[in-house]
């Protein structure tokens, strides 16, 4: 019985660690599979390139419904984020979503880590998903429901995806 309890505890510990981005990651874009605990660096950050990607916070909440992403479920995590670092991570995710394809394969997560901040997209679907022009809209919902400097996520059940923001060292995606 002790052996079985140990195996279950080990499995649970591994699944919790699977989507916790370490606090010492290099800044950049990462992919992670649902069944892996090791993120794959897709693109390292270039500080001069990132500076150009910083964005202001203009939002239009109507576009989420106009795009057919109905009934979003907003979850507020309640802790504060560094807005300067998050602005860079968010800008980089927007760039990836809107200008560089932004497709995510079956049951994978893609996230941009910058300093302590993470902007992420999780695909809970057994097929390809996209985030084209969705990240800003999800971010606007978080600003309205959670406050502009707080972590949280937006889950869209219709498309089996979650978009969100958090700090490194915090569990996200699956």
Q: What is the pLDDT of residues 37-58, one digit of tens each?
A: 788 888 887 644 443 333 333 4
Instruction: Decide the pairing of beta strands 40-44 and 103-104.
Output: unpaired
In a domain, 47, yes or no: yes
Q: What is the pLDDT of residues 125-156, one digit of tens each?
A: 888 888 888 888 889 899 999 988 999 999 99
In a domain, 126, yes or no: yes
**pLDDT in the model for residue 51:** 39
State which residues form the domain around 64. 2-167
Q: What is the pLDDT of residues 46-103, one digit of tens each?
A: 644 443 333 333 444 444 445 556 689 999 998 999 999 999 999 999 888 888 877 8
Task: Give the integer Cα–Cα distance in Å for 45 and 27.
Answer: 5
Q: Give the total number of structural domains in the chain.
A: 1
* 3-state DSSP of 53-114: HCCCCCCCCHHHHHCCCCCCEEEEEEEECCHHHHHHHHHHHHHHHHHCCCEECCCEEEEEEE
In a domain, 12, yes or no: yes
In a domain, 17, yes or no: yes
């Amino acid at each position: 019985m002790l052996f079985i309890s140990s195996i279950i505890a080990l499995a649970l510990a591994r699944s919790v660690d699977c989507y916790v981005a370490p606090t010492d990651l290099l800044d950049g874009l990462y992919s992670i599979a649902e069944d892996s605990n090791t993120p794959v660096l897709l693109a390292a950050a270039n500080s001069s390139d990132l500076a150009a990607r910083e964005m202001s916070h203009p939002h239009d909440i109507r576009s989420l419904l106009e795009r057919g992403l109905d009934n979003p479920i907003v979850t507020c995590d309640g802790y504060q984020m560094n807005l300067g670092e998050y602005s860079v991570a968010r800008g980089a995710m927007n760039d990836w979503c809107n200008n560089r394809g932004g497709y995510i394969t079956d049951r994978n997560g893609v996230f941009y880590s910058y300093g302590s901040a993470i902007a992420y997209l999780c695909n809970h679907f057994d097929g390809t998903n996209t985030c084209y022009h969705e990240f800003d809209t999800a971010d606007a919902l978080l600003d309205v429901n959670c406050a502009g400097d707080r972590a949280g996520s937006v889950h869209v059940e219709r498309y089996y995806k979650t978009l969100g923001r958090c700090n490194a060292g915090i569990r996200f995606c699956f």
